[in-house]
Structure 1
Amino acid sequence: MLVKYLISDVVPALRTSDTGIKALNWMEVFRVSHLPIVNNEQFLGMISDTDIYDLNMAEEPIGNHKLSLIRPFVKQDQHIYEVIEMVSSMKLSLIPVLNEDSKKYLGLITLHDLVSYFSSLSAVSQPGAIIVLELNQNDYSLSEIAQIIESNDTKILSLYLKPQENSTKLDVTIKINRTEFASVLQTFNRYNYTIKASYMKDEIMDNYYSDRFDSFMTYLNV
């Protein structure tokens, strides 16, 4: 999925002639903590609610103040995963989108847009269990994990990797296409994998697994 297919014009951009109070009102209405500043389709930077409060500029035009604006943006033909990385690392509530030569503001993508997009993916909407493995980064083998799962007549719907902070360990989160997954867990145990967690729908747990497991966590959408 490319960035240009998620561009939204619902959240308006500010102009330098807009006041701080107008910016704060829009942030409240659209439930964001940042807004882009754009004059004549030129992206000047982003302002946050903290910037406005710190400068005590609510009643004055934004352009009356010397601002140290952050200028994060993505281009329309970048992949959506690059948006996630930037939004996450910079703790943004939205990200501006520019054209390929970075000269024209096209719109923005909000954090809500990203969540909605990923919630619509088939891997999320399809029923299935989630398994979280913990292993050393050097021991990670996608082919072996896939072989273990597929040997139990099960398919991988999605797989995510997350390195643990200050550690050589890796969390591998796997969503599979089955809710009855005891045989998959047993096979991972047989291969000496550490199963950090497993999740499934509450109703499936109640009907089929209440006599096999001590407790379960609520099914997660990822």
Structure 2
Amino acid sequence: MQLAKDLLTTTLPAIHKDTSLECVFSYFEECNILSLPVVEEDRYLGMVMERDFFDLDLSQGVKSVKLPLSFEEVSVLPAAHLYDVLRVVDEYDVEIVPVVDKENKYHGTIIIDDMMQKIAQMHSDQIKGNIIALRMEAIHYSLEDLSRWVEQNSIKILSVFVEADKNDPKMVVVTLKLNKVEVEPVLATFERFSLNVIYSSSLTENSENSQDRLDNLMRYLEI
């Protein structure tokens, strides 16, 4: 299980509220990032972001300007699950997520790009298998039914991801990671129950419909 405390970066500095603008922009350039966490001693105060500098009045010189703080409320607990981190990223559209405990003590920061690379590496090393994506009415989604139909073919579901179809709020896209590469019996079972398979990695080669299925999946996920 991936928790926030396991995704912390050791390369991104935290800055003080009195850090100079020259230093902030130097960190932006060195770290190839546009936002930094701001702390006072070990207490989290917020983020400083490049876009917040656009409206500053620098007529009196940069040394007269205090750092603009944003997203003081944006953080996750050290024990927060990966999905909670992703929810914060989606809700606030941030590139970093500070990790702060209940006493507001700063533990570090998650850089989202680094996190996604780490997740990709972790999952690529897991059990080899197949990925199947289904599109169905949300009211008809049942993990119990899907598990039964998959397991009756001596195959296991390793993970499930369900997301709303952005084109139709009544529909969902269900992505299944299975523990076997050869999943034709599962596909046949899904077809028998009139389930709409919009993608399967077993169909990405040597199939006339594979590109259409991939295009459908990308369209629904808006990738």
Q: Secondary structure at the match of 1:154?
A: coil
Q: Which consecutive aligned stretches of 4+ in structure 1 deviate over 6 angstroms post-superposition?
A: none
The alignment partner of 1:125 has SS state of coil
What is the alpha-carbon distance in structure 1 between the residues aligned to residue 134 and residue 125 of structure 2?
A: 19
CA RMSD of aligned residues (A): 2.8
Deviation per residue, 1:33-62 (Å, 9 max, x gap): 2111112222221121111233265x725x
Q: CA deviation at 1:68?
A: 5.1
The equivalent position to 1:189 in structure 2, one of 167, 188, 191, is 191
Q: Following TM superposition, by how much is the alpha carbon of 1:134 offset from its aligned partner in structure 2, in angstroms? A: 0.6
Secondary structure of the residue aligned to 2:29 is helix
Q: Distance in 2 between matches of 1:89 and 1:200?
A: 34
**Which residue of structure 2 aligns with residue 91 of structure 1?**
93
Q: CA deviation at 1:30?
A: 2.3
Q: Counterparts of 1:201 and 1:5 in 2: how far apart (Å)?
A: 35
State percent identity of aligned pairs. 25
In structure 2, stretches of 5+ residues that fail to align are 219-223
Tell me, yes or no, if the aligned pair for 2:76 and 2:98 is still in contact at 8 Å. Answer: yes
Structure 1: 5+ residue stretches without partners? none
Aligned-partner Cα distance in 1 for 2:118–2:67:
37
Please tell me whether the aligned partners of residues 53 and 68 of structure 2 are also in contact (alpha carbons under 8 angstroms): no
Contact 1:133/1:194 (CA < 8 Å) preserved in 2? yes
Normalising by structure 1, we get a TM-score of 0.81
Q: Which residue of 1 aligns with 2:19?
A: 18
How far is 1:199 from its partner?
2.1
Report what 2:221 is aligned to: none
Q: Read off the aligned partner of 2:85 and give its amino acid letter.
A: V
Give aligned pairs, total: 210
Contact residue 76 and residue 100 of structure 1 kept, 8 A: no
Q: Does the C-alpha gap of structure 1 residues 213 and 84 become closer, same or farther in structure 2, counting only changes over 3 Å?
A: same
Q: 2:107 maps to which residue?
A: 106
